[in-house]
Amino acid sequence: MHAPAFPAPVVSLHADPACADHDCTRVEFDADLIGRLGKSGPRYTSYPTADRFGEDFGYRDYLLAVAGLRTRGGARPLSLYLHIPFCDTVCYYCACNKIVTRKREKAATYLSYLKREISMQAGLFAGMNEVEQLHLGGGTPTYLSDAQMDELMAHLRRSFRFAPDETGEYSIEVDPRTVSAERVHTLRRQGFNRISLGVQDFDPEVQRAVNRVQPEAETRAVIAAARAAGFRSVSIDLIYGLPMQTLDTMRATLDKVVAADPDRIAVYHYAHMPRLFKPQRRILEADMPASDTKLRMLQLCIERLGAAGYVYIGMDHFAKPRDELAVAQRQGRLHRNFQGYSTHADTDLVACGVSAIGAVGATYSQNVKTLEEYYELLDRNELPVARGLSLDMDDALRRALIQKLMCQFEVSIPALELAFPIVFRDYFAPELAQLRQMQADGLVRLGPEWLTVTGKGRLLIRNICMVFDRYLAARQDRPRHSHTV
């Protein structure tokens, strides 16, 4: 049965008075504290996290969720995510759901089924289908040819109403090795206004160690083309902790990234889990940097990007002060979902493609992970939902709290009590006991009206959110998450 939607806490732009005599807006790096408290934990792109999804939630539960939106009226705008799983080559660090193949006909077949799923979703949302956000991820979305991308974008616009270019956020992930300057201009004409480039590292030796040789000039050419084509935002993804990386190579990469002047930078910690991700077995353990070196790399990233004028958004994201992410955070509008941080908090997320995860109403749903299952279900005129979850009141409460911590680094306790039928100090008594130890460590401030994450606590925000995750104890025998820092 479809769970009802629950209200989110009232958004407040009030700042914690305790920050008046202490800078709570600045991230602080404390190596000893991070070394002592760092551990495996979720990234909280959702709560409950995806490993809580169950196969008892299926296609019909998803239909009930959409029907619930229609019954309640006042539908919210939509965010669309499309998963394009194909890549030409394998990057050894990659943990994404991907299909490495040079057989281009596979993409043509996939596109025909993806369009069928899009049509089915559009039918469900008829009359409440204005899209404010679109994201193409993978894999490598630009594995599709220009003609195939034209076909896909035209089908999307026939199926959904899109907000104007100046207000909508339409982004695509790009491997700079797969696109020319001309292709970048074509992507802009096709309707994309944000572009994200996978770089990872500019050092040739590191690139060879992860099977992703990508000359700096190639990446700079794509950025220049994006600027010339009128993209509103250019993002760069980096990874620290890769094989053959040193502080010197990281410093050189950061200098080149700052010189390229992107609007947003994501610096991810490489999670080496070869037992779970087969391509990672090609990385030699002897080539991996030591734990203390990785911590110093993180410190270097924070200091170098901060000196260059970038704002620490949270987790692994940095942005220029005038970027919409930074503005949304200052205004209390920042949101976090399966694509990371977002400026569109009031949307239902409709996801299409293999393994894609959506969030509609008070539910999550994930599609099947193989092409065979995906095609089979669509041939039966069923959406390819494999598993999911309907949130109860406790889930919705903790999701709202964790969202505020991840995005704003503070929670208004009265606002939370107004939105949910709880008394904070009673409902979260066990959690508050844990938070008092974190307060002693200087990670948080606990007051009668505010829970505030300090500058020291920002880098350990996942640890703080884990305090409120009631499912963690039941996950001890499940595969490990990545390290929190």
Mark the binding-site residues for [4Fe-4S] cluster, compressed into ranges.
Answer: 87, 91, 94
3-class DSSP state of 349 = strand
Residue 186 structure tokens: 């074509």
Beta strands (DSSP E) in 276-375 are 311-314, 317-319, 335-337, 340-342, 348-352, 357-360, 363-367
Distance CA 352, CA 112 (A): 12
Q: Which residues belong to the annotated binding site?
A: 81, 87, 91, 93-95, 138-140, 173, 200, 212, 237, 271, 357
Distance CA 254, CA 414 (A): 42
Distance CA 336, CA 480 (A): 22
* Alpha carbon 346 to chain centroid, angstroms: 16
Residue 37 structure tokens: 């408290």
Closest-CA residue to 202 (of 267, 280, 256): 256
What residue type is 238 in one-letter code?
L
Distance CA 3, CA 64 (A): 9
Residue 331 structure tokens: 């205004």
3-class DSSP state of 359 = strand
Sign of the dihedral through C-alpha 146, 148, 150, 156:
negative
Beta strands (DSSP E) in 54-129 are 78-84, 86-87, 99-100
What residue type is 315 in one-letter code?
M
Distance CA 402, CA 468 (A): 7
Distance CA 188, CA 198 (A): 18
Q: Which residues belong to the annotated binding site for S-adenosyl-L-methionine?
A: 81, 93-95, 138-140, 173, 200, 212, 237, 271, 357
Torsion of CA 81, 84, 85, 86, to 10 degrees: -160
Residue 120 structure tokens: 């089915």
Distance CA 124, CA 213 (A): 43
CA angle (207, 102, 92) in 5-degree steps: 30
